[in-house]
Structure 1
Amino acid sequence: MEQNYFISTDKNLLDSKAIQQFIANSYWGNGRSLEEVKTTIENSYCFGIYTLDKEQIGFARVVTDYIYFGYFMDVIILDKFQGQGFGKILVEHILADPKIKNLKTLALKTKDAHQLYERYGFKKIGDSLLWMSVDKQILA
């Protein structure tokens, strides 16, 4: 894929209205308000993927203690950019981020993207239909 995008953790670039509109219509964020989205952004480590003209392509956030645990949330690609590989690019970028790559455990919930996350080492947790994790913690 030609490098026609960039990824940033600068929260000032995020289009919170576009993010909220997508999330509010999702199965996991049904009805989430703009104020709620802004609060989650303030309290999370956020990633935006953008066109070179700074149009929002996608978004993801990680709730983390930056040492042991990270919870992937609200991983989205806006409708007009879906099917172009941006989801994989965003997830790969997050997993390679210096603040994320050494976390001992990563977790997420998904209803429909198990195949995407399995390619990055996430496994289903027990008999849950939603929970997945990568656990790097060695227990003696």
Structure 2
Amino acid sequence: MPDDLFFSDDPDRLDRGRIHAWLAEESYWAEGRPRATQDAAIDASWNFGVYDAVTGEQLAYARVVTDRATFAWLCDVFVAAGARGRGVGVALVDGVMAALEPLGLKRILLATGDAHGLYERFGFRPLERPHDWMARPGILTPR
């Protein structure tokens, strides 16, 4: 990891307002996500950040939904526009994979419309049997 960055899974370091703005206003997958929904997702997940080592400013975010025994889903991976191109995304995914590796998970999944090259560096590949997987579209109002 570059010396000017540090990685953490400390939930107290998270800049929840910044994370919400990034995802709700700048991402293609969570556009318009309400703050309460984002906070609930953070609270129910294992969260990671990359920060500027001098200022402490959060530069990137990712969360993992996992049972910590068999499965993990890497999601909401985001690098601030001004921090792109300096290894922040690599540092983030490297830190997440290092945190997950000792768990011995059978499978770690992600869905992405971009950055395939980044994830391939960490062993991600297209699904071998995509026809085995199914998805149910979400319900927008709680029951």
Bin the TM-score by the shorter chain: 0.7 to 0.9
Which residue identity lines up with residue 5 of structure 1 in the other structure?
A: L
1:3 equivalent to 2:3? Answer yes
CA distance in 2, matches of 1:40, 1:21: 14
Say if 2:7 and 2:91, in contact at 8 Å, map to a contact too: no
Relative distance call for 1:2 and 1:87 in structure 2 (3 A) is closer
When the two chains are superposed, the root-mean-square deviation of aligned CA atoms in Å is: 1.7
* 1:15-30 superposed matches below 5 A: 15-25=15-25, 26-30=27-31
Which residue pairs with 1:33 in the alignment?
34
Aligned-residue identity in percent: 39
Q: Which has the higher helix share?
A: 2
- How many residue pairs get aligned? The number is 127
- Deviation, 1:32, is 0.8
Relative distance call for 1:8 and 1:2 in structure 2 (3 A) is closer
Which residue identity lines up with residue 51 of structure 1 in the other structure?
A: D
CA distance in 1, matches of 2:34, 2:20: 7
CA distance in 1, matches of 2:67, 2:118: 25
CA distance in 2, matches of 1:112, 1:17: 24
5+ unaligned residues in a row in structure 2: which ranges?
134-143
Say if 2:24 and 2:33, in contact at 8 Å, map to a contact too: yes
Q: Which has the higher strand share?
A: 1
Instruction: Write out the 4+ residue segments of structure 1 that deviate beyond 3 Å after TM superposition.
Output: none
Q: TM-score, normalised by structure 2?
A: 0.83
